[in-house]
Structure 1
């Protein structure tokens, strides 16, 4: 989207460089706010499967923001709140992913795990730059934004069955507090 956003702001809306800078800064500002919100939310999540749900909600949110940016807006300034919201969802994804690695990987292996995760994310970003350039050559920029948004939402929908199954499996493997008390009473 970084490649396509230049064309969207400058060519579709004929905005100035200053407006483009403001819009891009709003994504970063949204990430700052989103990281604080995500940290507050994650403090309340005690199960790893809840982090997976958080990643999916945030990915769907980013997809909706991308789709919204592709819609014909009556002013380019509507991209300011969209980018603030998109940045918040993006920060939620990043924070949940980092916490997942920290929770699930033993401390001695976290450096390697983070390197593996971030290596793949960097490769995906490079592929995204390549695809963004290719998409700008073969389709309208607004259509490309909507397509990327719909693809993000489709990814979420494709992952939902696995996360729902993990939620059921985790719920089945944990015993409720009432059942634990009954077991403790029977053992006594």
Structure 2
């Protein structure tokens, strides 16, 4: 019994419990932040427009380009391989971008880069040429993930940051599912090559359509007080959030 020791201090009082209670969660809604809302909506719309290539890609490589299963695997891996350096470069750039508007422009630019690579992919004569294009597209995809997540971390209060990431992820996944549905439906009536071109072109058109929307949102954010609660310099975006699927994945 000598080995068991207790500290007799009695029960904690209700006053002490109330003093250590969690502070009130600040009020925040995605729709009240035009800058973050423009980023979420534009990203989801572009992914819905170009996301059909995930369905079309296998038929384009295997049937149209007569690629082997090995080449198909290399092409798929190229996109993911490109995301690594793209994320690293974007992270270094994001540290220097103190203006939230610049991050939104970065999201649009990288989304446009993904769509442009898809358009170019529709003209390749052999499947092997898709590898360098998908490396560039993957790098743009990785950059878009970083810019979007850093912007979310800056604009959303810390207590509600998980809700902001969930809203962004839900919008992206919804756009991806819409792209799958449209791509599968069109594949029943059109060959893969023109569908690849159509998906990339549609994505570029959506990016261009959202440019004035984002410009207005940036101007509005400049007039307003700015971010609700900027992320601290040492804050890090959760690793799981950096894996948000982009236009081609």
TM-score with structure 1 length normalisation? 0.86
Q: Equivalent residue for 2:128?
A: 77
Matching residue within 193, 197, 203 for 1:142: 193
Q: Distance in 1 between matches of 2:183 and 2:220?
A: 39
Q: Equivalent residue for 2:107?
A: 55
Q: Equivalent residue for 2:30?
A: none
Query: Are residue 90 (structure 1) and residue 174 (structure 2) matched?
Result: no
- Residue 111 to residue 168, structure 1, CA distance change in 2 (3 Å): closer
1:142-162 superposed Cα distances (whole Å, 9 cap, x missing partner):
111111111111111111112
Residue correspondence of structure 1 range 91-130 to structure 2 within 5 A:
91-130=142-181
- Residue 169 to residue 112, structure 1, CA distance change in 2 (3 Å): closer
Q: Equivalent residue for 2:182?
A: 131
Shift of 1:93: 1.3
Q: Equivalent residue for 1:28?
A: 80
Q: Distance in 2 between matches of 1:172 and 1:130?
A: 40
Matching residue within 145, 151, 158 for 2:209: 158
Secondary structure of the residue that 2:125 maps to in structure 1?
A: coil
- Residue 12 to residue 120, structure 1, CA distance change in 2 (3 Å): same
- Residue 11 to residue 98, structure 1, CA distance change in 2 (3 Å): same
Shift of 1:169: 5.0
Q: Distance in 2 between matches of 1:85 and 1:106?
A: 34
Q: Distance in 2 between matches of 1:59 and 1:30?
A: 14
TM-score with structure 2 length normalisation? 0.66
Q: Distance in 2 between matches of 1:20 and 1:7?
A: 10
Shift of 1:20: 0.1
Number of paired residues?
173
Name the Cα RMSD after superposition: 1.7
Q: Equivalent residue for 1:5?
A: 57
Shift of 1:74: 2.7
Query: Which residues of structure 1 form unaligned runs of 5+?
Result: 175-188
